[in-house]
Structure 1
């Protein structure tokens, strides 16, 4: 049975593990990042016409009082999972984007020029979404609802999580997790566990921190969503 390392934080890690088991793979859960809520608030002005969300974590970690002030606005979610989280939080009008933050910005920018959009987001994020909207004349108010930090594992902890056995594949959802995994691979005592591992990443940006360590063993999902990522496991190697 193919052993697949799941590196995303909970609760997503357990959800992904269940999907892998259903598809006949053996999940090995080792979250390389952890998310935590931040104090966050926002004032909705007369020119505020929408909310944008590029990560489900931004909604899950947002204070209920903050969400209550925003649920009446049009909500633009980056993709399916994030849209589901927005609806679960109480947003009644949610549009589902193409799955990529930059593409979402391109989709919504034209209709929002001169208006203000509240962007629920993490402290750690790529700037391209905000940059593209700003360039189109949209006023973006970033409201950071959560932070993401790498988990510092000792060698013994990694060995225990992997049962001292190599993994055939590793799933990477963020550049921060990729950087953390690259750091683990660099440790001589752990290197053999990843000597033949294929690294499956959500996007080219996520893959970048692993370039030096993994090279040709990196494969990038054709679409930045989990369905496309997991589909790589069943494709010829």
Structure 2
């Protein structure tokens, strides 16, 4: 049974592990990052805002009730299905489900009906292209950071105990920060043996690029920045 390392933080890690088990993989949970809430207040959102944009479900999951209440009546543009579900659950009444890609969502907003200032609920660590695309089109963007992603420092002993069943066949990478942390683990003398023949499956090209020093033939990139595409990629190489 192929052993697959899941590096994303909870609660997503357990959800991914369950999917992998159903497909005949042996998931190994080793989150390399942790998501924490930031004290974003309702006052950070401009009163003249006309819409909300969300490119990560965490942005609404970690937003305060006060902030959500101040924005819930505005149309919310969510990057994809899971983020749209999280937005509805948080309290947004009008949610537009996007195509699953941040830049494609930005294009949809730009090409849609005219709008004023867009409040972008987001993380402190993020790819700037979404905001840049809207700004370049003349749409004002106010970023409100509701969460942060911090790295976790695992000891050699803890990682070895987690991987005690033997070498790792595949690693799923969901963020550039996790990819950098993964690269550091591979370089540790006590741990390198677990990853000598490992395949690395990245959610995007930007994440794959963070794996400096890993042979290119061992790194594959999902066709879309979605977990479904990531898992299909791994299944194709099984």
State the TM-score bracket (shorter-chain normalisation): over 0.9
Alignment of 1:1-237 (within 5 A): 1-43=1-43, 45=46, 47-111=48-112, 115-163=116-164, 165-236=166-237
Count of residue correspondences: 237
TM-score by length of 1: 0.96
Structure 2: gaps of 5 or more residues: none
Distance 2:35 2:186 in 1: 23
After superposition, give the CA deviation of every residue in 1:101-136 in whole Å (9 maximum; x if it has no partner).
Answer: 111111112346561000000000111111110000
Q: Deviations over 1:32-90 (max 9, x none)?
A: 00010000023455531110001111111100111111111100011111111111111
CA pair 158-45 structure 1, distance change in 2 beyond 3 A: closer
Q: Which runs of 4+ in 1 moved over 6 A?
A: none
User: Does the residue aligned with 1:189 lie in a helix, a strand or coil?
Assistant: coil
Q: Which moved more, 1:206-215 or 1:128-137?
A: 206-215
Partner-residue secondary structure (3-state), 2:130: helix
Distance 2:70 2:138 in 1: 24
TM-score, length of structure 2 as denominator length: 0.95
Which piece of structure 1 moves more, 210-219 or 110-119?
110-119
Whether the 8 Å CA contact 2:49–2:116 is kept in 1: the answer is yes
Greater Cα shift, 206-215 or 86-95 = 206-215
Q: Distance in 2 between matches of 1:135 and 1:192?
A: 47
